[in-house]
């Protein structure tokens, strides 16, 4: 085989064919590194014709972006081994960069001046770009184009090494957007994605020059900020919160979004990636528990609270089975007659160690662990059974109101479960009022409308709760069959010209649409006078009754009716 190749190479015509038809570029220089010959493939790859490069040094192709170390390694290998193979980022004649895979071989003769170099280069730009794209996809979030979790943790690892060497501090910031899930659920994920991109851009604009920003997952973002003084990070966070005080505009919708932030500092709160991220996450959790739209720096005491929350979650899973839950009732009063016309059923947790717990403590946990709909259904069944007992005791006009969460309402068999609860209790459907919030009612309009119509056909009443606090209040009154509007207690409790005007407007609107109105949160005679003067004659609040167990509620109803 070797002899056949030798015969082939000795034929000048064969060599010419090989030279002209190679896909790889060929370049030969003399010992002074002056180009003496190139082949057509070289001209095609570089854009230079032979007359333009003849006698010139191959460094005319250099882009200036290949490291000096690479060239030092190249000449060292050529000197010691007579050849070198590697990758260089070069420039075409038109200034376009291209990646070349090059093999250079030195052919030595007795006289050094008679030696020459043969370079074979292959254009690998397409493959390198594909590799870069794949690497970018592996290390960046597709939606925001920010580094992803993998990229962030690797970057943080390097950042910690530098911080240890320079004795600098490094802040690890964990943040997410308050109530972003409501936007997603209300307007759809595509809308939410557009908003997420805008929010990510604001974070990048604030920290881009001073820190490493990543989308950690969902609406969670992480940021690393090397610094020497804590004030440097404080200033950046103040700028971030200033950015979020300006509205977002998505599809002609204006939004104000807030964010919760947790932060840990190297080396005070940890010296490794896992610990710093965990502690920043703990601080974020603390911020959300303390009311959101704020920032907290990690404190070891926070771990005690986190452990307490986890313990509470575990206990909540057992509460249903162990009969620790109770239904309390709050009177709904006809303010003209000063008599109850209904009660609202409200869940309480009679914890074996902590006593009676407010739903504000455990319902967010129930939503997190996915049992909120189960709690709703449990309350519905208990309240209907109690309602039937009261009906048999003579309270035949009493309306039992039960809150329905978005999670329960979204269940495909929601209507069947409500009907089953009514059948088991024996209560007349007209004595049941289901309270849904505005934010529930604007999800998947057709599906929700069909469910509400099915409830109405059965004779069940529907109340729109927390009216005035949702995203599109007025439009829903045309879309859905509503019997009652419950004016949110925030308008009643805080007396102001603006709130008084809102109450007056809602009452007038309800009258024009033929629906009734209940004012929540009435605590004083002054508030009662206000709503009565505006034409609202149904109310509930501490002025009449706190939420109480069924036996106390029954006693209060008896006293008001006699």
Torsion angle in degrees (nearest 10) through CA of 417, 423, 424, 429: 90
Angle between helices 525-533 and 497-513 (to 10 degrees): 50
How does pLDDT run across 186-240, given as a tens digit for each residue? 788 888 899 999 999 999 999 988 899 999 988 999 999 999 888 899 999 999 9
How does pLDDT run across 372-397, given as a tens digit for each residue? 999 999 999 999 999 999 999 999 99
Arithmetic mean of pLDDT, 363-375: 87
CA pseudo-torsion sign 200, 293, 266, 209: positive
Cβ proximity of 447 and 479 under 8 Å: no
Q: Exposure of 81 by Cβ count < 10 A (0-12 exposed, 13-18 middle, 19+ buried)?
A: exposed
Q: Is residue 433 very low, low, confident or very high in pLDDT (cuts 50, 70, 90)? A: very high
Please give the structure tokens belonging to residue 58: 């191959």
Cβ proximity of 518 and 506 under 8 Å: no
Count CA atoms within 13 Å of residue 218 on its CB side: 10
Q: Is residue 48 very low, low, confident or very high in pLDDT (cuts 50, 70, 90)? A: very high
What are the residue ranges of helices labelled H in 320-403?
Answer: 359-369, 372-392
CA angle at 394 for the pair 517 and 340, rounded to the nearest 5°: 25
- Cα–Cα distance list, 390 to 395, 429, 544, 553, 554 (Å): 5, 14, 19, 11, 8
Count CA atoms within 13 Å of residue 435 on its CB side: 23
| Calpha distance 279→172 (Å, rounded) | 9
Cβ proximity of 288 and 273 under 8 Å: no
Question: Per residue in 315-325, is it b (16+ CB within 10 Å) or e — as a string?
Answer: bbeebeeeebb
Give pLDDT, residue 475.
Answer: 54
| Calpha distance 518→521 (Å, rounded) | 10
Arithmetic mean of pLDDT, 422-426: 96
Arithmetic mean of pLDDT, 29-37: 91
Most confident of 134-138, 238-242, 322-326: 238-242
Give pLDDT, residue 301.
Answer: 84
For the chain, helix, strand, coil in percent to 5 are 50, 25, 25
Question: Going from the N-terminus, what domains does the chain have, and what CATH number goes with each?
Answer: 2-130 (3.30.450.20), 140-299 (3.30.70.270), 319-561 (3.20.20.450)
Q: Exposure of 29 by Cβ count < 10 A (0-12 exposed, 13-18 middle, 19+ buried)?
A: buried
pLDDT over threshold 90, residue 94? yes
Angle between helices 359-369 and 301-319 (to 10 degrees): 80
């Amino acid at each position: 085989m070797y002899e056949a190749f030798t015969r082939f190479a000795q034929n000048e015509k064969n060599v010419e064919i090989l030279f002209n038809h190679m896909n790889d570029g060929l370049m030969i220089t003399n010992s002074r590194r002056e180009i003496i010959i190139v082949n057509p493939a070289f001209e095609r790859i570089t854009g230079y014709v032979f007359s333009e490069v003849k006698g010139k040094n191959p460094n005319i192709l250099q882009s200036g972006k290949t490291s000096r170390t690479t060239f030092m390694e190249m000449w060292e290998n050529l000197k010691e081994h007579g050849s070198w193979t590697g990758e260089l980022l070069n420039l075409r004649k038109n200034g376009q960069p291209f990646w070349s895979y090059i093999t250079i071989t030195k052919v030595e003769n007795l006289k050094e001046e008679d030696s020459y170099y043969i370079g074979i280069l292959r254009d690998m730009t397409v493959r390198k770009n594909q590799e870069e794209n794949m690497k970018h996809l592996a290390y960046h979030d597709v939606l925001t184009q920010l580094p992803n979790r993998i990229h962030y943790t690797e970057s943080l690892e390097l950042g910690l090494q530098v911080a240890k060497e320079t004795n600098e501090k490094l802040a690890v910031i964990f943040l997410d957007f308050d109530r972003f899930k409501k936007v997603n659920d209300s307007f759809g994920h595509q809308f939410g994605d557009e908003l997420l991109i805008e929010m990510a851009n604001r974070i990048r604009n604030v920290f881009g020059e001073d820190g490493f920003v990543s989308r950690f997952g969902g609406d969670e973002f992480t940021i690393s900020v090397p610094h020497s003084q804590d004030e440097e990070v404080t200033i950046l966070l103040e700028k971030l919160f200033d950015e979020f005080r300006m509205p977002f505009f998505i599809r002609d919708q204006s939004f104000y979004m807030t964010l919760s932030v947790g932060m840990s500092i190297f080396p005070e709160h940890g010296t490794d990636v896992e610990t710093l991220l965990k502690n920043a996450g703990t601080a974020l959790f603390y911020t959300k528990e303390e009311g959101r739209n704020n920032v907290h720096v990690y404190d070891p005491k926070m771990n005690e609270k986190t452990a307490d929350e986890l313990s509470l979650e575990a206990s909540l899973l057992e509460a249903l089975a162990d009969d620790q839950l109770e239904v309390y009732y709050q009177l709904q009063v006809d303010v003209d007659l000063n008599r109850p016309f209904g009660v609202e059923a409200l869940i309480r947790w009679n914890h074996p160690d902590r006593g009676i717990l407010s739903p504000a403590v455990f319902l967010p946990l129930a939503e997190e662990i996915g049992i909120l709909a189960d709690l709703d259904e449990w309350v519905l069944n208990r309240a209907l059974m109690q309602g039937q007992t009261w009906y048999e005791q003579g309270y035949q006009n009493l309306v039992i109101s039960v809150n329905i969460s978005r999670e329960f309402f979204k269940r495909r068999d929601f209507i069947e479960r409500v009907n089953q609860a009514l059948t088991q209790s024996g209560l007349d459907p007209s004595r049941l009022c289901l309270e849904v919030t505005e934010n529930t009612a604007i999800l998947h309009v057709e599906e929700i409308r069909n469910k509400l119509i099915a409830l109405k056909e059965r004779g069940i009443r529907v109340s729109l709760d927390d009216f005035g606090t949702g995203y599109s209040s007025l439009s829903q009154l045309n879309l859905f069959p509503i019997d009652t509007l419950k004016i949110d207690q925030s308008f009643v409790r805080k007396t102001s010209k603006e709130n008084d005007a809102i109450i007056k407007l809602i009452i007038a609107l309800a009258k024009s649409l033929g629906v009734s109105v209940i004012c929540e949160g009435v605590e004083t005679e002054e508030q009662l006078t206000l709503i009565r003067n505006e034409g609202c004659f149904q109310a509930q609040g501490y002025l009449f009754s706190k939420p109480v167990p069924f036996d106390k509620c029954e006693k209060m109803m008896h006293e008001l009716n006699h």
